[in-house]
Amino acid sequence: MGGDFYDFFIRDEKLFFCIGDVSGKGVPAALVMATTLSQFRNVTTYEEDLEKIIQSINKATCANNETVIFVTFFVGVLDLQSGQLQYCNAGHNKPFFVSDSITELPAKPDLPLGIDDGVAYVVREHVVPTGSMLFLYTDGLTEAMNAQREQFGRKRLADNLKSSLNCKNQIDEMTQAVHEFVNNAPQSDDLTMLAIKV
Amino acid sequence: MNTESYKLGEELDSFNYQEVQDGIMAILEKGCNAVLDMTECTYVSSTGLRVLLYTKKVAASKGLKLYLKGVGAEVQDIMSVTGFDSFFDYA
């Protein structure tokens, strides 16, 4: 039973999206994932303030979390009219911003969800112009290992990002690249990718 | 208050997390602060991070401390990526 998840929907011409990775496996981790995802859906139906959204999700994830399961979580709200992106990073891998150049979104992570219900998460902003892409992923991609126990890593990831591709083709090409790199080594972790092209 | 060390190998992940957790817990149950020597460690998975979190929480509940020692660049990078870099105490 895997620990990766993502979700997205559009409301009032804004794209609400998230991606995350629960630190455990089995039923307890699945319950934490369900709590996190349902809280994301519930809060974002009426709330647009990202700070309030992530604080609410974090409080729900912290409640009754005796086994210290934590969740790395990246959540964003993209205004589809203006291209203005607001986002928070709770211990998740920094997404890549793909335009004329390939860069990681400035997003020094705060603590993952589920550890401290008093964390003040930082809300950051970035403009996402038409034609550019956000590429989000979980650590199963960068930590995919080949038989020599080398990791796929952020550099290979960045080298396989192309601004000319649409979302489906980008994810297909990345999937192929990581499969070729890993070759026949057993997969040790879930791997999730989410591409958003404006 | 007495302090005892537990020396970690090259990795802390799903293959050895239980052994490491049991080792740190044994120190805490003796009423000692625990120092996790990570000098040789180059990789900590999310399961490994849970061991650090869990034992830090248990230590705090007993009025004790868990210290990390010898954290190298690779592990520091993992701590930074996951937002844990200023969360732990360092020996």
DSSP of A137-151: E-HHHHT-B-TT--B
Q: Determine whether the interchain pair A70/B53 forms a contact, defined as Cβ–Cβ distance below 8 Å.
A: yes
Q: Quote the pLDDT of residue A188.
A: 67
Mutation for testing the A interface, residue in B25, B66, B74, B82 having most A CBs under 10 Å: B82
Which ranges of chain A have pLDDT less than 70? 1-2, 187-188
Give the three-class secondary structure for A128: coil
Q: Quote the pLDDT of residue B85.
A: 86
Chain A residue closest in CA terms to B43: A143
Chain A residues with CB-CB distance to B83 below 8 A: 89-91, 108-112
Q: Determine whether the interchain pair A115/B81 forms a contact, defined as Cβ–Cβ distance below 8 Å.
A: no
DSSP of A90-122: ESPPPPEEESSSEEE-----BPPBTS-TT--PP
Candidates A67, A91, A189; nearest CB to B82: A91
Question: CA A151 to CA A4: how far, in whole Å?
Answer: 19
The model's pTM: 0.90
Q: Determine whether the interchain pair A68/B49 forms a contact, defined as Cβ–Cβ distance below 8 Å.
A: no
Q: Where are the domains of chain A?
A: 4-197
Number of domains into which chain B is organized: 1
Q: What are phi and psi of A107, to 5 degrees?
A: -160, 65
**Would you state the structure tokens that stand for residue B4, as one six-digit string?**
């005892």
Of A95, A109, A99, residue with least CA distance to A195: A95
Q: CATH number, domain at B20?
A: 3.30.750.24
CB contact at 8 A, A188 and A145: yes
Of B86, B91, B6, residue with least CA distance to B51: B6
Chain A residues with CB-CB distance to B81 below 8 A: 91, 93-94, 109
Mean pLDDT in runs of 10 for chain B (91 residues)?
93 91 97 97 90 94 96 93 91 90
Candidates A68, A72, A89; nearest CB to B57: A68
Which CATH topology does A4-197 take? Phosphatase 2c; domain 1 (3.60.40)
Report yes or no: B87 at the A interface, CB cutoff 8 Å: yes
Residue B15: CB atoms within 10 Å: 12
Chain B residues with CB-CB distance to A26 below 8 A: none
Q: Which residues pair with A180 in a beta bridge?
A: none
Report yes or no: B9 at the A interface, CB cutoff 8 Å: no
Report yes or no: B82 at the A interface, CB cutoff 8 Å: yes
What's the ipTM?
Answer: 0.80
Q: Quote the pLDDT of residue A107.
A: 80
Q: Determine whether the interchain pair B83/A111 forms a contact, defined as Cβ–Cβ distance below 8 Å.
A: yes
Q: Quote the pLDDT of residue B70.
A: 96
Question: CA A96 to CA A104: how far, in whole Å?
Answer: 4
Chain A window 144-173: which residues touch B at a Cβ cutoff of 8 Å? Answer: none
